[in-house]
Structure 1
C-alpha cells in the first residue's frame, strides 16, 4: 500500500455515521498504518507506486508461474557451502537477551537478499522469501528482538497464511526457531489463543513441500509446534549446540508450590538440555552454526524430488 494514497475499507465513514452514529475517518478505518500494523492485510507499506511495483517484481522473482511448476533457480555465484564465522557471535547465551534474527537470515541467504512480508505486523515472527544455493525458500523465523519471539494470535495467523501460500506454490519452507513459546493471559484466552495456534499446526501438517527446521537457541512452551517439529511432519530438523529444547521453562517455578526452587530450576535446566532433546529424537543432528547455510542447502537437495501424495478429499477444515 502506498502510504500517501492508499486505503481500503468495507464501509465509508458516512455509512458508519448513518448506521451507528460514530464519527470516523478513512485513516482510522483503513489506512496503510492500520492494515500493516493491526489487521495484517497489508504486506508492505511503500512511499510511491513505483516502489510498490518494484516490491511486487522482487516477490514474483521467487515464485513459479503457477502451482504446477517449481520456483525458478537463480544462481548468483554465492557458494552454498559458504561458512559464516559471524554466526558464532550473534546469539547471546543469556536467554533473557534478544537479538535480530534478520542478521542470521542475511548471512544464510544468497547475497544476503531477503524479501520480507508483513514486516511490521506481529513482529515477533519474521516471514519472507530468500534463496539458498539458487533455490527459492520461504523463511519462517522467530524474532527474539521482540518479546523474545513470543507467539500469540497475530503471529499464528501470520505464520499460517504464509505457510499455506508457500505450499500452494511449491516453495520449500525453512523454519528458524528461537522463541519462548506461546504466552497467554486472560484476555488472550478469551480471544481464542488455542484456535489461532491450531491454525499454524494445521498449516504445517497440511503442507507437502520440503520442510526444514533449525533450532537456534531456545524453543520452549510448545513453541516447536509453530516451527515445524518432526511430529507435525517436518522432513528434517537440526539444532545449534546452544539450543535448549523442551516443554518446560523457568516460568514453571511460578506455578509450583511447596518445592525447593533451586532444585526445581536445576531439574528444568537438566530437562531442557540439547542432549536430552537429542535422546528424545526431537531433531536429526546437532550442527556447527557456521555451517547452517550448507546444512539447509544439503537438505533442500535431498528433498528436491519430494512428492507426498495425500488421500483425496474435497478440502481440509482449517480451524478458523
Structure 2
C-alpha cells in the first residue's frame, strides 16, 4: 500500500518552509553583508549529503506580544550532525534571518539536546553564533535557556572538543557560551562580541568608545585574548574549523588523529645549525626553527595575535599530532608575562585533556619585570604554567635552544616539572640568572680589583657560563637527557616522541587540583 500523496505533499511543504528560513528578502539582506546563512555555513562545514538535521519543524513557545502570529522556522537555530574529514561532528548554527536568531526556550532546548547527544556519542561540538541575544518576549525563560546551555558547555569541557564561530552579533550573556568553549574563531567584518556596548558604557562611565574598540575581532584577538583565530569571512572561519578538527580527537577517550604509518627519519638537517645567531645576544626568530622541525613546515598557531612572546599551536612530527609551546625571542625577548602565562597554561591543559603530546621549545630569559606585572599578579599567573605542566600526564618533551633562566626555566617544562626528556643545543644556557648579572654578583670583587675590568669581566662571564650555566653542567646533574646538534633536533624529538606514545601515568585520586586562577 503506497503512502498517500497528500502526506508527501505536506512533508514537502513543511520542509520547504523550514529550509526557506526567514524568507528570500531577509536572506538577500544577509548576503548583502557578505555573510552566509545558517544553513549555508553548515553546508560549507559538512561533507555533502552527510548532514542529519534535528528539530527542523520546531516552533517557538511564546504566545504573547503578537508572537502567536509569527512563524519562526526551527525557532531560529539549525542543529544536527554531519561528517567533517570522515568523522561525525555535532553542532548548531543560529539563523539571524529568523527572528534575529534570538534565543528562546525551544531554541535553547534544541541546542541542549544536541550538546547532550555530543556528550553521549563522544562527538566534537561546533557552535556557529549569529544572534540578537535573548528573546525578550519569552522573559526569564530565555535566561533559563542560556543557563542550560552554559551548564552543558561545562559538562562537555574536557569531554569533547568545543569550537565556537562568532559570525555575527554575540552580545551580553550570549558571549559566555563561546567563552566556556575551547577555541573561538571570529570573522573580521560582520561579527561582534561584548558584554556592554558603547552606549551602555557611556551611560555607566561617561567614556565614549566604539564597537570596534570593545567588541571587534581585532580587540578580542589582540587585547582581551578572548578570540583564538580571526577569519576574513564565514568561509575562512569554517576552513580554520576544519583544520583545527584535523588535529583533535573526537573525545577524551580517543587518541588524536596520528598518521603513525609515516616513517621516522633519523637524517640530520644541517640547515638548522644556521638558524642561531653567532652573537648569543642576537635576535632569534623561533618560527623558522618550528618550520624545520615539524612536518611540511606546518604549524597551526593558536592565539597568534595575543601575548606574542609565547607561541602555542598544533603540528605533526613524523605523523604524530603534538601541541607546541615555544618562546618567541623576537617579542619581549621571549619573556613570560601575565598574558603569556595564561595563554600557555590554557593550551597545555587542553592538550592534556585530549591526549595530545607536548613539545616545548625554550629560549626564555625569565618572567617579564615591571611594576604593572607585579601588581597585576605575575606570581599568580606564572604559577599557572607550573601547575599546568606539573598536572599534565601526556608525553612531555622539551628542547632548550638558548636561554633558560630562573623560574621561567622551570615554567617551560624542565625535568623537575615532569618532562619525560629534556634535550639541549650546545648554545643553551641554564642558570638561575643570565651570565652578565650573575657575574656582577659572584665576581664583584675580582672585577673591581682588575686594572682592565672590562677584559676581566668578559673572562669571568665565560668562567661563569662554563661552571654554572652550560648544558653540560646541567647534563652532568641529570637535568638534561642529552646535548644534541641542532641538525638532529627533528630526528631526536621524533624518536623520543614515539618512545613515549604509550606512556601511562596515574596520580593520587582526588576530585581535581586547584589551579591558581
- Alignment TM class, shorter chain as reference: over 0.9
Shift in Å, 1:18: 2.4
Q: 1:269 aligns with which of 465, 485, 502?
A: 465
Q: Go from structure 1 to structure 2 and tell me whether the alpha carbon gap of 1:40 and 1:179 turns closer, same or farther (over 3 Å shift).
A: same
Q: CA deviation at 1:293?
A: 1.1
Aligned to 2:483: 286
Offset at residue 269 of structure 1 (A):
2.1
Task: From 209, 230, 243, give the equivalent of 2:394.
Answer: 209
CA contact (8 A) 1:78 1:111 kept: no
Q: Identify which of 315, 332, 336 aligns with 1:151.
A: 336
Note the 1:25-44 alignment, pairs <5 A: 25-44=210-229
TM-score (normalised: structure 2): 0.59
**Could you tell me how far 1:93 is from its partner in structure 2?**
3.2
Aligned mates of 1:109, 1:134 — CA distance in 2: 9
Higher-helix-fraction structure: 2
Residue 251 of structure 1: aligned partner: 437
Q: Kindly indicate whether residue 349 of structure 2 is the aligned counterpart of residue 164 of structure 1.
A: yes
Structure 1 pair 147/290, CA: closer, same or farther in 2 (3 Å)? same
Query: Of the two, which has the highest radius of gyration?
Result: 2
Matched, 1:67 2:263: no
> Could you tell me how far 1:147 is from its partner in structure 2?
2.4
Q: What is the aligned residue count?
A: 320
CA distance in 1: counterparts of 2:203 and 2:400, whole angstroms: 53
Over the residues paired in the alignment, what is the CA RMSD in angstroms?
Answer: 1.9
Shift of 1:19: 2.0
Q: Match of 1:134?
A: 319
Q: 1:7 maps to which residue?
A: 192
The answer for unaligned runs of 5 or more in structure 2 is 1-185, 448-456
User: Is 2:280 the partner of 1:95?
Assistant: yes
1:230-287 per-position Cα deviation (integer Å, ceiling 9, x unaligned) = 1111111111112111112123456689534427634532311122121222211111
In 1, Cα distance between the equivalents of 2:356 and 2:465?
A: 37
Corresponding residue for 1:319? Answer: 516
Q: State whether structure 2 residue 493 is matched by structure 1 residue 296.
A: yes
Could you give the per-residue CA deviations for residues 98-117 of structure 1, whole angstroms, max 9, x where no partner exists? 22111111111111111110
Is 2:264–2:495's contact at 8 Å kept on the other side of the alignment? no
Q: Confirm whether residue 194 of structure 1 aligns to residue 379 of structure 2.
A: yes
> Contact 1:240/1:287 (CA < 8 Å) preserved in 2?
yes
Map Cα deviations across residues 211-237 of structure 1 (whole Å, 9 max, x no partner).
Answer: 000011221133212211011111111
Q: Matches of 1:80 and 1:71 in 2, distance apart?
A: 21
For 1:30 and 1:134, locate their aligned partners in 2 and report how far apart those are by CA, in whole Å: 38
Which structure 1 residue ranges, 5 or more long, are not aligned?
A: none
Answer yes or no: is 1:19 the counterpart of 2:204: yes
Distance 1:88 1:134 in 2: 24
Conservation of the 8 A alpha-carbon contact between 1:199 and 1:319: yes
8 Å CA contact retained: 1:137, 1:172 = yes
